[in-house]
A and B are shown apart, each in its own frame.
Chain A
Amino acid sequence: MVGHTFSFFTSSQIEMLRDKVLELLQTQGVKLDPHPQMFKALADAGADVDTGGGMVRFPKPVMERLLKQAPKKFSLGARQPDAILELPRPDGTFYARTNTGGHGWIEPDAQNYRKVTSADLTAWARLVTELSEISFIAFLFCNDVPVQTADVHGLSTLLKNTPKHAWVQPYSTGSVEYLIRLGEAAAGGKSALAKNPVISMIACSLAPKAFKQMDLEIIYQSAKASLPIQACSLPGAGGTAPATTAGVILLASAEILAMLAMAQAVAAGTPVVACPIIFSTDMLTGRSLQSSVEAFKAASGAVQFIKAAFDLPTHNYGSGSDSPISDGQGMSERAMLSMLMGLSGSDILGGAGQLEVATVLSPLQLIIDNEVIGMIRQLMRGIEITDDSLAWDVLAGTKPGEHFLTSKHTLRHCRDVHRPGVFARPTREGWERQGKKDVMDRALEYYRKLMDKENPYHCDTGLLREIDSIVGAADKQLIG
């Protein structure tokens, strides 16, 4: 059952905001970098395209038609059947994923900061393979590979080390083709990838109301390959978007719909996940913030709105912090965000393991986030009301003052609870006796134990060779 009932909006506000989004796209439009194939697809679909200036406007009936073409249910594939992600999640909760593109790394042992390496990404993928609540992964920016093909190297590392779904953020127009080829190799060919999309592609707007050539190419090639597109709008309220919550939600929703329209224009039925990943601008420093209360409110409000108005799967930050370290502030921010985004109905909660506004990763934080996310999913499952859950007969058979510890009903349900991994509930004496360990210490113990074991996932040697061959071709082609 679904437990999220929380909403910022009334139904008439949803209706009004929906109309404003469509009106914005019809009257103001968006600006596209030159991309002849995309311009043609949009014009053929009925959009008003100014190929010279790049402005594209979407008449309301056209947008409504394109919206209808976008599937409301689909799957993000994986290389193990039990890792395939059906959207929306059948139990009414959400999936969680890790950060994309972070370049800083907090070493698990000393908690020192340094740049991410390929070995770190391998460890990260290994960790994600094991963490039950982390459903899919993205690559980080590794600093020890050629910058021109860092994305291709990043995806290759993921495919070699985890069977879970990978979401892919290309760094250049040229690399899009190689990233899709890697996906095809992992899935077993072009048609296999279309049936079981083991990767999904990230496309972003350049707020406000603009789209870069690279992102147009991502949408174009992904739609052609029947790959799910995660359409991301990342506006900063007060900077690249209006300062007001309603204004930034309006802008983000319009940009996402523009990307959806492009994808449907290229190939009707292309799966699109709406990702209104909204930031706020710190009015004292100009920094982008993911964990200000204003950013929380706008991002969760956008999720609620998009689901209610357009019935699309949604994806947002559901973890992460603005703090550069795993401190009390960071833990509070990420717990609040996870809870809020879960209750807002986001289908995917992103940003697990990330610190410092999505730029830095901590393996220990990822382990702790896995715990928090598990607790929130348990909460989201709601409260079952059945004869068995009401326990009428058990209550009737228990006299005042007796207990339930030995009842068969308790025995049957005692494992229904969320079982903590690194959260602990010792007595003070017990805690002192065990070395006064905190949650970070316990996460480190978990990490070390995991890394001592062999990776349960073994990439087929044929696939390893194919991956290396594609990476080699990308290096040859893209490194000048």
Chain B
Amino acid sequence: MTVRDIFNAVLGFDKELVVENVHKELSHGTSVSVILKEGLIAPLDEIGQKFTAGEIFLPEMLAAAQAMRGGLELIRPQLAGVHNLVAGKVVIGTVKGDLHDIGKDLVAMMLEGAGFAVVNLGVDVEPEAFLQSAKEQQADIVALSALLTTTMPAMQATLKRLKSADIKAKVLVGGAPVNQSFADQIGADGYADDAPSAVVLAKRLLGK
């Protein structure tokens, strides 16, 4: 039994086995830093590379992230104050008038998998609710989603509200009708055309 078994369990998308192996390593006296870096983060890096190369599918990547988080929860108390586990804080939601959530949820899950702390506000979210949450969470990023062409103006209204309240968080936009030109037009900090690109963009905007 080694840390490599945790690594392999993450790659096998087996959350229960990850938890079991982390328990075993802790009982063997392995340091939480080693478990974190070599057992939990390293396989996700590998998964990320495979995903970028088109060798891993989204459900597999999400399953790996869930398996990793299972192990992470076990060691989180001991890591507090030692490691900054959070890549950044993201508030995400589908804008007012739009009830579509799957694309937005996908981005949220992938951001979580990449180490971001994500607050998912759901669908049909008022500009004021985005603002409130961004303030409370001290968000680094606010991510706005829309599927309907008709709700694109709500994106602009939300962004305007955030800027008027002097929120410093970067604002990302995405969704079927949105493009870079629209993002530029309304003054968003970034646009991503799919979930993996959103993660790359979020990291880049925060200098990760």
Chain A interface (Cβ within 8 Å of chain B)?
101, 103, 141, 147, 150, 171-172, 206, 212, 236, 238-240, 281, 283-288, 357, 359
Residue B106 is within 8 A (CB to CB) of chain A in the complex: yes
CB of B150 within 8 A of CB of A171, answer yes
| Segment among B33-41, B53-61, B64-72 that sits at the interface with chain A | B53-61
CB of A359 within 8 A of CB of B106, answer no
CA distance A150 to B149 in the complex (A): 10
CA distance A103 to B175 in the complex (A): 13
- Measured between beta carbons, the chain A residues less than 8 angstroms from B152 are 147
CB of A147 within 8 A of CB of B150, answer yes
CB of B148 within 8 A of CB of A171, answer yes
Which residue from A103, A147, A171, A286 sits with its C-beta under 8 Å from B106? A286
- Measured between beta carbons, the chain B residues less than 8 angstroms from A287 are 194
In the complex, the chain A residue whose C-beta lies closest to that of B181 is: A115
- Measured between beta carbons, the chain B residues less than 8 angstroms from A281 are 58
Residue B102 is within 8 A (CB to CB) of chain A in the complex: yes
CB of A240 within 8 A of CB of B102, answer yes
CB distance from A326 to the nearest CB of B (A): 19
CA distance A150 to B152 in the complex (A): 13
CA distance A141 to B151 in the complex (A): 12
CB of A239 within 8 A of CB of B102, answer yes
A contacts with B: majority SS: loop
The 8 A CB mask of B170-183 against A (1 = contact, 0 = none) is 00000011000000
CB of B177 within 8 A of CB of A236, answer no
CB distance from B149 to the nearest CB of A (A): 5
CA distance A103 to B194 in the complex (A): 19
Given A103-B177, A240-B102, A359-B177, are A284 and B58 also a contact pair (CB < 8 Å)? yes
Given A206-B99, A236-B102, are A150 and B150 also a contact pair (CB < 8 Å)? yes
Residue B12 is within 8 A (CB to CB) of chain A in the complex: no
CB distance from A95 to the nearest CB of B (A): 26
CB distance from B25 to the nearest CB of A (A): 32
CA distance A150 to B150 in the complex (A): 8
- Measured between beta carbons, the chain B residues less than 8 angstroms from A150 are 149-150
CB within 8 Å of A: which B126-158 residues: 148-150, 152-153
The 8 A CB mask of B91-112 against A (1 = contact, 0 = none) is 0000001011011001000000
CB distance from A210 to the nearest CB of B (A): 8
A–B Cβ pairs within 8 angstroms, 15 of them: A141-B149, A147-B152, A150-B150, A206-B100, A236-B102, A284-B51, A284-B58, A285-B195, A286-B58, A286-B102, A286-B195, A287-B194, A288-B176, A359-B176, A359-B177
CA distance A281 to B103 in the complex (A): 10
In the complex, the chain A residue whose C-beta lies closest to that of B176 is: A359
Residue B196 is within 8 A (CB to CB) of chain A in the complex: yes
CB distance from A266 to the nearest CB of B (A): 22
CB of B153 within 8 A of CB of A147, answer yes
CB of B177 within 8 A of CB of A283, answer no
A212, A283, A286: which has the most chain B beta carbons within 10 Å?
A286
CB distance from A270 to the nearest CB of B (A): 25
- Measured between beta carbons, the chain A residues less than 8 angstroms from B153 are 147
- Measured between beta carbons, the chain B residues less than 8 angstroms from A171 are 148, 150
In the complex, the chain B residue whose C-beta lies closest to that of A175 is: B150
Given A284-B54, A284-B57, A287-B194, are A212 and B149 also a contact pair (CB < 8 Å)? no
CA distance A239 to B57 in the complex (A): 13
CA distance A239 to B97 in the complex (A): 21
- Measured between beta carbons, the chain A residues less than 8 angstroms from B99 are 206, 212
CB distance from B80 to the nearest CB of A (A): 33
CB of B149 within 8 A of CB of A101, answer yes
CB distance from A355 to the nearest CB of B (A): 13
CB of B150 within 8 A of CB of A172, answer yes
CB distance from B5 to the nearest CB of A (A): 28
CB of B102 within 8 A of CB of A283, answer no
CA distance A101 to B97 in the complex (A): 17
CB of A285 within 8 A of CB of B149, answer no
Top 3 A-B pairs, shortest CB-CB distance: A283-B57, A285-B194, A286-B106
CA distance A12 to B145 in the complex (A): 44
- Measured between beta carbons, the chain A residues less than 8 angstroms from B149 are 101, 103, 141, 150
In the complex, the chain B residue whose C-beta lies closest to that of A283 is: B57
CB within 8 Å of A: which B163-208 residues: 176-177, 194-196
CA distance A311 to B177 in the complex (A): 36
CA distance A171 to B99 in the complex (A): 13
CA distance A285 to B174 in the complex (A): 13
CB of A238 within 8 A of CB of B59, answer yes
In the complex, the chain A residue whose C-beta lies closest to that of B57 is: A283
CA distance A92 to B196 in the complex (A): 46
